[in-house]
Each structure stands twice: as structure tokens, then as C-alpha cells.
Amino acid sequence: MSQLFENRAKRMIKAGKKTAGAWAQLCSPLSAECLARGGFDWILIDMEHASGDVLTLVSQCQAIAATGTEAVPFVRVPWNDLVWIKRILDAGAYGLMIPYVNTKDEAVRALQACKYPPQGIRGIAGSVRAAGYGRDTSSYLKRANDEIFVMLQVETMQAIDNLEAIASVPGVDALFIGPMDLSTSMGHLGNPAHPDVQAAIATVEAKAKKLGMPLGTISGSWEQAKALYDRGYQLITLVSDSVLISKVAADAMAKFREVFPA
């Protein structure tokens, strides 16, 4: 039976709604399944800093789909690279986060890699998972350019200076601030709280609002996420599978050592 390719998360964001995401960084279909069952709108599978490959990506996408929830798989690609983007989309990603986009030319290259001709240069294969292994080819090919969600990461002052030009590229659906890389590129290694970095982030927020461009970022707590939503963000990662397990394990052992210090 043919299935219509529809991206619920993209529709929500285009309608101005706030969405909740979760990082899948353990390269595990089991943790991806757990996150999807949690009710998130999108699961962001990390292929930039996590150690997965295309096969682990496929297994995570399958696990998310098997839950029957409305969660869709987004993927942070390793780089703004035509081949990586093509393979990740063919694996069934509904949306891409593309890191380190600093200029309009780089944004154009990213969007061309995500779109089939004539809008772009993405290679076509009807036998891939995204197209239902040949069963949904016609539907997928007709709808993919409209349904795939593309967000570009803002990680340098160069990107901030060029933000208007980057956002003007047809097909850019959202901007996503990477606070750790931004702070480091500004000379404040891993310190997003530095006043200079916070001022730069405020500049991105003001520009995005003026451009009517959806904005996303990460959060470290619900209180931080709520404050970001209140400032207009529409895409926020609320949790990470790796951080969740690490934190729960450490908290459990801290309580154990408190009772049994020896």
C-alpha cells in the first residue's frame, strides 16, 4: 500500500507553533524508540558528533516509525556535504540540521543538496527507504522538495553577520543556534553564558524575528527551555538520550554514596 509522505513537524513550525525535540546521540534504535514514545514532535538523530553511520540511522528511523507516534526523524548531518545529505535523506530523514553554514553561498549549496531538480541537485533513486523501496516512489519524489525540513546552524559571528543573506535562500525553513560552537568561535571556549555570546545570541533572535524565520536551539533544563519558548523559539531540544542516562546514573550513585559513604 502506498503511503503519502507528510511532515507534521514542518507544518506545525510553518503555522507558528512551538515544537519539542530530543537528541538521539547513542546511535541506538532502543533509545530512539524510548524518545519517540515520550511524545516529542521530532527526534534529532546526531550524525555530526555521535558515532553512528547510515545503517544505525536507518535502524533509528525504523524504531521511531514503529512506535506509531507522531514523532518524525530529523538528522544533524556530519557536514554541508552533497553525498552525506543525499544518503541521509534516502535513509528516510524528514528534516536536516546542517552545521556551520556561514555564507549565502554555503546556504545555497546546502539547499541544492536537499532538493531534487529543478530546485536542486539531489540524486534520484526510487528504490531507497525514503521512497518505500520502490513502492512509494512517485508520491515521495513529488512531495519531498516540499516536505523535507531544512534548518541551518548559526555557529559563528560570520554567520550572524550574513544572517539576512542566508535566510533569503529559498527553502531555508529555520535557523538553529549552536551555543557551544558559537561561544568557542568567539574566543570563549565552551562558555555560552559569557556576556559577549549572550549579546550575539540576542542579535540572532532579533534578526530572526524581523525576518519571520523560525528559530531553534538546545536547552539544559525545562526552566531554560520555557524561557527560550517565551522569547519566541519554536524548536528546542529538551533532552538527550546520552545525557539523560549519564545524569540519572550519577544521581543514583550520589544518593547511594550519601547513605553508604564507605
CATH label of the domain that carries residue 92 = 3.20.20.60
Residues 234, 18: contact at Cβ < 8 Å? Answer: yes
Known catalytic residue at 49:
yes
Q: Strands, DSSP E only, in the chain?
A: 19-24, 42-46, 72-76, 95-98, 149-154, 174-177, 215-218, 235-240
According to DSSP H, which parts of 2-136 are helical?
8-14, 29-37, 54-66, 82-90, 104-114
Res. 2 pLDDT band, cuts 50 70 90 = low
pLDDT at residue 156 in the model: 98
Instruction: Check pLDDT > 90 for residue 3.
Output: no
- Give the count of beta carbons closer than 10 Å to the beta carbon of residue 205: 18
Instruction: Check pLDDT > 60 for residue 47.
Output: yes
Instruction: Check pLDDT > 80 for residue 78.
Output: yes
Instruction: Check pLDDT > 70 for residue 237.
Output: yes
pLDDT at residue 206 in the model: 98
Question: Looking at the domain assignment, is residue 108 inside a domain?
Answer: yes
Q: Three-class SS of residue 44?
A: strand
Active-site residue among 3, 4, 17, 49? 49
CA distances from 69 to 40, 43, 52 (A): 9, 11, 23
Question: Looking at the domain assignment, is residue 213 inside a domain?
Answer: yes
CA distances from 154 to 8, 26, 99, 150, 249 (A): 24, 24, 8, 13, 33
Instruction: Check pLDDT > 50 for residue 35.
Output: yes
| Mean per-residue pLDDT, 164-174 | 98
Question: Looking at the domain assignment, is residue 2 inside a domain?
Answer: no
Domain containing residue 153: 8-259
Question: Looking at the domain assignment, is residue 3 inside a domain?
Answer: no
Find out whether the peptide bond into 118 is cis, omega within 30 degrees of 0.
yes
Question: Looking at the domain assignment, is residue 1 inside a domain?
Answer: no
The total domain count for the chain is 1
pLDDT at residue 1 in the model: 46
Instruction: Check pLDDT > 90 for residue 142.
Output: yes
| Mean per-residue pLDDT, 87-93 | 98
Share of the chain above pLDDT 70, in %: 99
